[in-house]
Structure 1
Amino acid sequence: MNWQTVRAFGIRLPMRYGIHGIDVSKHNARIDWKRVQQMKADGVRLQFVFIKATEGATLTDKNFKTNWAGARKANLRRGAYHFYHPTRDPIKQATNFINRVELSEGDFAPVVDFEVTNGQSETTILDGLRLWLETVEEHYHVRPIIYTNGNLYKRYIRGQLDDYPLWIADYSTTHLRDYDPDKLYLWQHNQNGWVQGIRGMVDFNVFVMDENRMKEICL
Structure 2
Amino acid sequence: MPPEKRTPINKGPVARKPAAKKTVTRKSTSGRKKKAVLSVQLKLVIAGLLLILLSPFYYGYVLQGFVATWSWVRDWGQDPNYRTYESFNIRIPKKYTVHGIDVSYYQGKINWQKVKEMKEDEVSIRFAFIKATEGLMLVDPYFQRNWREAPKAGIICGAYHFFRPKKDGKTQAKFFLQVVNIEKGDLPPVVDIESLDGVSPLKMRAELSDFLNYIEMKTKVRPIVYTGLKFYDDYLAGYFDDYPLWIAHYYQPKLRMDKSRWKFWQHSDKAKINGIGHVVDFNAFNGDSLALDRLLVH
TM-score in terms of structure 2 length:
0.71
Contact 1:82–1:111 (8 Å) recurs in 2: yes
Match in the other structure for 1:133? 212
- 228, 231, 253: which is aligned to 1:149? 228
Contact 1:184–1:209 (8 Å) recurs in 2: no
Counterpart residue identity of residue 208, structure 1: N
Counterpart residue identity of residue 208, structure 2: L
Which structure has more strand as a fraction of its residues?
1
Counterpart residue identity of residue 75, structure 1: G
Quote the Cα distance in structure 1 between the aligned partners of 2:290 and 2:229: 26
Counterpart residue identity of residue 188, structure 2: A
Mark the runs of 5 or more structure 1 residues left unpaired by the alignment: none
1:218 aligns with 2:286: no
Quote the Cα distance in structure 2 between the aligned partners of 1:73 and 1:159: 39
Contact 2:98–2:288 (8 Å) recurs in 1: no
- 67, 70, 88: which is aligned to 2:146? 67
Quote the Cα distance in structure 1 between the aligned partners of 2:199 and 2:295: 29
Q: How many corresponding residue pairs?
A: 218
Counterpart residue identity of residue 18, structure 1: T
Counterpart residue identity of residue 164, structure 1: Y
Match in the other structure for 2:93? 14
Q: 1:172 offset after TM fit, Å?
A: 4.5
Mark the runs of 5 or more structure 2 residues left unpaired by the alignment: 1-78
Quote the Cα distance in structure 2 between the aligned partners of 1:188 and 1:104: 24
- 279, 294, 297: which is aligned to 1:201? 279
Question: Which aligned pairs between 1:34-183 and structure 2 lie closer than 5 A?
Answer: 34-176=113-255, 178-183=256-261
Contact 1:165–1:217 (8 Å) recurs in 2: no
Quote the Cα distance in structure 1 between the aligned partners of 2:116 and 2:251: 28
The superposition leaves residues 175-204 of structure 1 with CA deviations (integer Å, 9 ceiling, x where unpaired) of 23x424323000000000000100110000
Q: 1:35 offset after TM fit, Å?
A: 0.8
Which structure has more helix as a fraction of its residues?
2
Quote the Cα distance in structure 1 between the aligned partners of 2:270 and 2:279: 5
Q: 1:209 offset after TM fit, Å?
A: 2.6
The superposition leaves residues 122-149 of structure 1 with CA deviations (integer Å, 9 ceiling, x where unpaired) of 1100001100000001111010000000
Quote the Cα distance in structure 2 between the aligned partners of 1:76 and 1:172: 25
State the SS of the aligned residue for 1:137: helix
Contact 1:24–1:52 (8 Å) recurs in 2: yes
Quote the Cα distance in structure 1 between the aligned partners of 2:233 and 2:252: 15
Q: Greater relative contact order: 1 or 2 (C-alpha under 8 angstroms, separation 6 or more)? A: 1
Contact 1:164–1:183 (8 Å) recurs in 2: no
Quote the Cα distance in structure 2 between the aligned partners of 1:209 and 1:38: 22
Cα–Cα, structure 1 residues 216 and 41, in superposed 2: closer, same or farther, change >3 Å? same
Match in the other structure for 2:12? none
Counterpart residue identity of residue 260, structure 2: D
Counterpart residue identity of residue 120, structure 1: V
Quote the Cα distance in structure 2 between the aligned partners of 1:53 and 1:124: 24
Q: 1:91 offset after TM fit, Å?
A: 1.3
Quote the Cα distance in structure 1 between the aligned partners of 2:136 and 2:295: 25
1:189 aligns with 2:189: no
Contact 2:91–2:251 (8 Å) recurs in 1: no
Match in the other structure for 2:25? none
Structure 1 vs Structure 2: percent identity of aligned residues?
A: 41
